[in-house]
Amino acid sequence: MRPEDIVATIREVDPTMADLVAKEDARQARCIRLIPSENYASPAVRATLASSFTNKYGEGYPGKRYYQGQEFTDEMEVLVQKRACELFGYPHAVVQGLSGAPANLAVYAAFLKPFEGKIMAMRLDHGGHLTHGSPVSVTGQWFEIGAYGCNPDDVLDMDEIRRQALEFRPDILVCGYTAYPRTIDFEAFGKIAQEAGAISLADVSHIAGLIAGGAHPSPWPHIDIVTFTTHKTLRGPRAALILAKSEEHYQKVEKALFPGMQGGPHFNTIAAIGVALAEAATPQFQAYTHGVVANARALAAALMERDYHVSSGGTDNHLLLVDTFRSRKLPGRRVAIALEQVGLVLNFNTVPNARPDQKPLFPDGVRMGTPSVTSRGMKPEHMATIADFFDRCCAITKRGKIEKGTGVFADKAAADALREDVFAFTAQFPTFTYE
Ligand code: DSN
pLDDT tens digit string along 186-243?
999 999 999 999 999 999 999 999 999 999 999 999 999 999 999 999 999 999 999 9
Instruction: Tell me what pLDDT residue 24 has.
Output: 95
Q: With pLDDT > 70 as the criterion, what percentage of the chain qualifies? A: 99
Which residue out of 238, 306, 326, 419 is catalytically annotated? Answer: 238
Helices 332-341 and 412-426 sit at what angle, rounded to 10 degrees?
Answer: 70
238 is catalytic: yes
Pocket flag, ligand 1, residue 374 (CB < 6 Å): no
36 Cα to the center of ligand 1, angstroms: 8
Instruction: Tell me what pLDDT residue 65 has.
Output: 97
Angstrom CA distances, 236 to 49, 278, 281, 356, 418, stand at: 10, 10, 13, 37, 32
38 Cα to the center of ligand 1, angstroms: 9
Instruction: Tell me what pLDDT residue 153 has.
Output: 97
Query: Rounded distance, CA 306 to CA 381, Å?
Result: 16
Q: What is the 3-state secondary structure (H, E, C) of 365-428?
A: EEEEECHHHHHCCCCHHHHHHHHHHHHHHHHHECCCCCCCCCCCECCHHHHHHHHHHHHHHHCC
Reply yes or no on whether the pLDDT at 40 is more than 70.
Answer: yes
List the residue whose alpha carbon is closest to atom 5 of ligand 1. Answer: 37
Instruction: Tell me what pLDDT residue 377 has.
Output: 95
Q: What is the mean pLDDT of the chain?
A: 96
What are 297-334's pLDDT values in tens digits? Answer: 999 999 999 999 999 999 999 999 999 999 999 999 99
401 is catalytic: no
Question: Would you state the torsion angle of the CA atoms of residues 125, 126, 127, 131, taken in this order, to the nearest 10 degrees?
Answer: -60
Residue 4 — pLDDT band, cuts 50, 70, 90? confident
Residue 156 — pLDDT band, cuts 50, 70, 90? very high
Residue 49 near residue 230, CB atoms below 8 Å: no
Q: Where are the domains of the chain?
A: 47-280, 283-426
**Helix residue spans in 197-282 (DSSP H):** 208-213, 247-257, 267-280
How many alpha carbons fall within 13 Å on the CB side of residue 329?
A: 6
Reply yes or no on whether the pLDDT at 115 is more than 50.
Answer: yes
178 Cα to the center of ligand 1, angstroms: 6
Angstrom CA distances, 422 to 59, 239, 306, stand at: 47, 32, 19
- Kindly provide the b/e burial profile for residues 160-199, where b requires at least 16 CB atoms within 10 angstroms of the residue's own CB: ebbebbeebebbbbbbbbbbbbbebbbebbbebbeebebb
Task: Indicate the class that CATH gives domain 47-280.
Answer: alpha beta
Q: Can you tell me the mean pLDDT for 404-426?
A: 95
Task: Indicate the class that CATH gives domain 283-426.
Answer: alpha beta
Reply yes or no on whether the pLDDT at 434 is more than 80.
Answer: no
Instruction: Tell me what pLDDT residue 433 has.
Output: 55
Pocket flag, ligand 1, residue 327 (CB < 6 Å): no
Three-state secondary structure call for residue 321: strand
Q: Can you tell me the mean pLDDT for 83-111?
A: 98
384 Cα to the center of ligand 1, angstroms: 26
Reply yes or no on whether the pLDDT at 51 is more than 70.
Answer: yes
